Amino acid sequence: MQYSSQTIESVIEALSSLPTIGRKTAQRLALHLLRRPQEEVARLANALLAMKDNVAYCSRCFNLTESDPCPVCMSPKRNQAIICVIEEPNDLMAIERSNEYFGQYHVLHGALNPLDNIGPDDLKIKELISRLDDSVEEVILAMNASVEGEVTTQYLTKILKTLGVKVSRIARGIPVGSDLEYADEATISRALQGRVEV
């Protein structure tokens, strides 16, 4: 349905261009914003503009930051000898929530995907390799459990092993709270491969 207001239609089109936002959701958001006070909508608009103006990539790890290098790269509490390679900044936030990792990061900004013409030059792989000096003891590959993530892991493993650095990958397996009978074969296989001694 097209609205009689071209302004509302423009907002719906703009919102529906965001990932995972379809036209119906964009319509609900637009109408919600229309009902909100002017100051609240202005605060949202100003926050979006400030984000665009102030946030950039860290020149070392390529995480999103307002300072360069980012606070993670500058922290003296972080282990400089370990680099965890991830696909996107969201992955960094997920790992940080675990409170189990205290090393450095490197954000690739995607994964290899030949079908979408995403090759090694489209990711921050050269920048990762340039970070590998004698002080780096281990690179942990923490790619998503997808075909693209697996291809990226295999590609990076091949390159990193030739550089003489220890390469590991995060374990994959059965999520906490789920039953084995509902897990697929690939998940069970990876859980068995990633088993640890107790």
Higher-confidence residue of 181 and 6: namely 6
Residues 6+ apart with CB under 8 A from 55: 64, 65, 66
The model's pTM is: 0.81
For Cα atoms 86, 106, 77, give the angle at the middle one, nearest 5 degrees: 115
Q: pLDDT tens across 160-185, in order?
A: 999 989 999 888 776 777 776 777 77
Percent of the chain exceeding pLDDT 90 equals 72
Radius of gyration of the chain measured on its C-alpha atoms: 21
Q: Look at residue 4 and tell me whether its pLDDT is greater than 90.
A: no
Q: pLDDT tens across 87-145, in order?
A: 999 999 989 988 888 999 999 999 999 889 999 999 999 999 999 988 999 999 999 88
Residues 6+ apart with CB under 8 A from 57: 63, 64, 65, 107
Q: What's at 152, amino acid-wise?
A: T
Give the chain's mean pLDDT. 90
Domains of the chain: 6-54 (1.10.8.420), 64-193 (3.40.1360.10)
